[in-house]
Amino acid sequence: MTRKLFGTDGVRGMANSHPMTAEMAMRLGAAAGRYFRQSDKGVHRVVIGKDTRLSGYMFENALTAGFTSTGMNVFLLGPVPTPAVGMLTPSMRADVGVMISASHNPAADNGIKFFGPDGFKLSDEAEAEIETLVEAGVKPAQAGNIGRAKRIDDGRFRYNERVKATLPQGIRLDGIKVVIDCANGAAYKTAPEVLWELGAEVVSIGVSPNGHNINQGCGSTDVRAAAETVVAHGADVGICLDGDADRVMILDETGQVADGDQIMALFAARWARQDRLFGRTLVATVMSNLGLERYLKSLRVDLHRTGVGDRYVVEAMRKNGFNLGGEQSGHIVMTDYATTGDGLLAGLHFLAAMKQMGQSASQLRQVFEPVPQLLQNVRFGTGQRPLEVASVQAAIAQAEADLHGKGRLLIRKSGTEPLIRVMAECEDQGLLVRVVDSIVSEVKAAV
C-alpha cells in the first residue's frame, strides 16, 4: 500500500505548511481514532506527548479535537521524550500513542508519529490504512460519545523511574561528573533529574527551551557546545540528546565523540560476553560503518542490516527475536527495556559500563577502527527529482564503477527532510572524496 503523508518516521514537515497544518493534524487524529476504535464498547484512550517546539501547542490541540471527535479519551503528557510515549501507551492501557516532534530537525519543522497499543511504532500497512481514512473522511461520534481530554502531570516521573530501573542492581553514578546536553528539547527536565537521582554530578546545557531553539547549536547533531563544556568543567563524560531524546552521542573527557556505531559495538560486545545478545546478532542500517561489521565478525557476532530508519531496525528485531539494534545517528534500541530508540537509556548504560569496567569514557569511546566514510547532503525543492536526472544517474554509475571492490556507495532521499544523502565508504581517502564530490556536484546542478 502506498503512503503519501507518512515518511520513515511519521508525518513531518514545516509547521503551517502541508502536511503539517492544524487541519491535517485534526484529520489525522480523527482517522487514527477511528482506526483504533474498532468497536463502540469500552473506554478508548490515546496518550499524546510532545517536544518543546512552539507549534506543539497547535498540533496538541488539533489532535485532541480529532481524537475526541471520534470518542477517544485523550491523556496529555506535555513535553516528554519519544520513548516515554512508547512506554506509557501500554502502561496506561491506551489504544494508541502519539508523539508530536520533528526529532533532530529545526524548530520550524514538526511531526506526528504514532505508536500502537503495544508501544511500538506503526507498520507501513497501518499507516497506509490511516491515510485512507484521512482521504475518505471519518464519521464523528454521536454527541453523547465525544471523548474527554485530561492532563497527566506525572508522565515524565513514571518514565524516569522506568529508565532508572533498567540499570544493574547496585549501580550508582557517584563520582562521575556528567555534562548532559538536552538540545532544548523534550528531555530538558527528565535527563538532568535522572542523572542527579542516580548520584552523578550534573552539568546541564540545552535546558532552556523557548519554542524556537530546539536543536539550535546543541544536542546530538551539534556537539561542539557540549564538548567545550566537558573540557571546561573537567567532566568525565558528555551525553548529547536530540530534540525528542531518542538519539544520543557520547563524548569522552577530551570532547571526542562516540557515535551510534561505537555505542552499539560496546553494548554488543558486553552482551555477547554475558550471553544475553539474542541470536548473537546486532541489527543496524545500511549506513553503519564497515568497521563495525568487521569488529562484530571478530567476536562471532552477526550484523543484520536494514533500510534507514529506526522503525525498520525495530521491525527486524521483533521479527527475528533480536534485542539490540540501532543507527549510526544515535538511535540505540534495547527491546529488553524500551520499544524505540532511547538516548537517555543508552547514555545511562554507557555510564554503567564505565562503572562496571572501571574504565574512562576515552577508553570505551572507540571500540573499533572505522573505515573512512563521507556523507554529504544536498537540499532540493518541492517537486524536484534530482535522482531521476540523467547526469546524476551517470555520475552515480561512474562512482559505483570506481568503488567496485574497494568500498561501497549509498545514495538515498531522506525520509524526514527534503535532502539527497550521498554516502561513500572506502579505505582510499582520495577516492572517497572524489566519488562523493562528483555526485554532489551533479545533484546540485540538477536542483
Q: What is the pLDDT of residues 119-175, one digit of tens each?
A: 999 998 999 999 999 999 999 999 999 999 999 999 999 999 999 999 999 999 999
pLDDT of residue 40: 59
Let me know: does 254 contact 233? Beta carbons within 8 Å: no
Per the listing, cell 545511562 goes with 348
Query: At residue 43, what are phi and psi to the nearest 5 degrees?
Result: -100, 135
Q: What is the pLDDT of residues 192-219, one digit of tens each?
A: 999 999 999 999 999 999 999 999 999 9
Please report, as a single letter, which amino acid is at residue 346: A
Per the listing, cell 491535517 goes with 24
pLDDT of residue 135: 94
Q: Which CATH class, in words, describes the domain spanning 373-446?
A: alpha beta
* Mean pLDDT for all residues in the chain: 95
Mean pLDDT for the stretch of residues 413-418: 81
Domains 11-153 and 373-446 fall in the same CATH topology = no
State yes or no: pLDDT of 395 exceeds 80. Answer: yes
Q: What is the pLDDT of residues 30-51, one digit of tens each?
A: 999 999 987 556 789 999 999 9
Query: At residue 154, what are phi and psi to the nearest 5 degrees?
Result: -110, 20
* Least confident span in 259-273, 341-355, 375-389, 404-418: 404-418
Q: Which among 6, 122, 113, 101 has a CA at the least distance from the CA of 54?
A: 101
**Is pLDDT larger for residue 2 or for residue 75?**
75
Residue extents of the structural domains in the chain: 11-153, 154-370, 373-446
pLDDT of residue 18: 94
pLDDT of residue 418: 87
State yes or no: pLDDT of 91 exceeds 70. Answer: yes
Cα gap 169→184, rounded to integer Å: 31
**Sign of the CA dihedral 252, 220, 414, 433?**
negative
SS3 115: strand
- Return the H-helix or E-strand segment holding 250: strand 248-251
Let me know: does 74 contact 180? Beta carbons within 8 Å: no
Q: Which CATH class, in words, describes the domain spanning 11-153?
A: alpha beta
DSSP 362-417: HHHH-SS-PPPEEEEEEE--TT--GGGSHHHHHHHHHHHHHHTTTEEEEEEE-SSS
pLDDT of residue 8: 80
State yes or no: pLDDT of 2 exceeds 70. Answer: no
pLDDT of residue 41: 60
State yes or no: pLDDT of 333 exceeds 70. Answer: yes
Q: How many CA atoms lie within 13 A of 173 on its CB side?
A: 26
Do you find a cis peptide bond into 19, omega within 30 degrees of 0? yes
Please report, as a single letter, which amino acid is at residue 10: G
Strand order across the beta sheet in which 419-426 lies: 373-379, 419-426, 407-413
pLDDT of residue 225: 98
Cα gap 24→151, rounded to integer Å: 23
Query: At residue 222, what are phi and psi to the nearest 5 degrees?
Result: -150, 90
CATH H-level superfamily of 154-370: Alpha-D-Glucose-1,6-Bisphosphate, subunit A, domain 3 (3.40.120.10)
pLDDT of residue 38: 72
State yes or no: pLDDT of 1 exceeds 60. Answer: no
C-alpha cell at 217: 547549536
Which residues are catalytically annotated?
Answer: 103
pLDDT of residue 39: 59
For helices 82-91 and 155-164, give the axis angle rounded to 10 degrees: 100
Let me know: does 241 contact 181? Beta carbons within 8 Å: yes
pLDDT of residue 30: 97
Cα gap 345→337, rounded to integer Å: 9
- The pLDDT-based confidence of 288 (bands split at 50, 70, 90) is very high
Task: Go through the chain and tell me how many residues it has.
Answer: 447
